[in-house]
Amino acid sequence: MKNLPRNWFCFLLVSGCLVMDSRAAEKARVNQPRVNVRGQAAMGSEVVTQLQKDEEVLILEEITLAKPKAGEPAKWAKIKMPLNTPVWVYAPLVKDRATALRKLNLRAGPGENYSVVGSLEKGESIKEIRSLEDWVEIETPANAYAFLDANLLTKSGVAVATQVEKPILTPPVVAIVQPVAVVALKTESLLDPPPVVIAEIKPEPTPTLPVVAPPAIVATNTAPALPVLPVVIVPTLESTVVEAGPAPRRIVRREGTVRSTRFNIQAPTYYELVSSEGNIGINYLQSEKSGLKLRDFRGKKVVVSGEESLDRRYPSRPIMEIETIETAP
């Protein structure tokens, strides 16, 4: 810098602004049946849902463990949380169906012992599904995530760009600028207003209309014919009523242990699904349509799928009409 001539100017440019770092997410398909999706990149983590073969997922990131445990995969895929996966938040931190805290953790179950699967910023709206004590299950947010064995996925090669705000500092750049002669501009032409031209506008002559005499009125004994008015048919209220279609089915997949409810006289069904970790009730189970015998699975850890619905009499726990049930590994 000291060896530059005096008639040169130097500018030190440092870039430290906030830019959008485009991270490419990649589509993939599940290549095995009954693939467990977990809350963390570990086989001991809880199962949040289960995917079937050929289901499509979005890979957000690939994680390689430095020292995986014996029998566990070394490479995991962090994916976007599939829809209809249970996601829970702490109820006291929710106000008017929005996040009241600066950052609210999303968890894979109703308790702090469950894995964090994302977060919500203050003011973000949520859609509540059901409540259980101090926890609320909400509709799966767009930024929730989960993990599964990367070897159980086949990448499609289709990249999906996701923009993430990330501060990037670039190294300083020295720009050498040679001075340029300043040319004086004539400002009078810019400041002087344009000349005002006043033109005489002559009004156009008003056209004269011919005077037409009114028609003569002839008295007759015949009454004039009345005009025929068109008949307007007004639709009745019954013809304008639009019936609302049926509510969309909520098909979910859950994992837990089948337990009898014979000691609970208020239970709407004879069996329920409880979590294997905390012994917390997840669903009331019924199999009237499928004809499955739930007593054969009593006390066993299973994976069930079916239509989930809420009964006003039991708002804290939905009822699942089972379509499939399998013993969990």
pLDDT tens digits, one per residue of 19-35: 333 457 899 999 999 89
Asked whether 266 and 285 are in contact (CB, 8 A), the reply is: no
Mean pLDDT of the 107-124 span: 92
What CATH number labels 87-139?
2.30.30
Check: CB of residue 322 under 8 Å from CB of residue 272.
Answer: no
User: Over 60: is that where the pLDDT of 13 sits?
Assistant: no
State the pLDDT confidence band at 39, using cuts at 50, 70 and 90. Answer: very high
CATH number of the structural domain 251-327: 2.40.50
CA 266 – CA 154 distance, rounded (Å): 47
Query: DSSP E strands: which ranges in 134-250?
Result: 135-138, 145-149, 153-167, 170-177
Tell me the fold of 19-82+146-165: SH3 type barrels. (2.30.30)
CA separation for the pair 105, 325 (Å, rounded) = 31
Element (H, E) at 191: helix 188-191
Measured CA to CA, the distance from residue 52 to residue 251 in angstroms comes to 14
What was the pLDDT predicted at 107? 94
pLDDT given for residue 100 in this prediction: 84
Mean pLDDT of the 142-165 span: 82
Interval 205-223 mean pLDDT: 55
Range 36-56 average pLDDT: 92
| Residue spans in the chain of domains classed CATH 2.30.30 | 19-82+146-165, 87-139
**pTM for this one?**
0.51
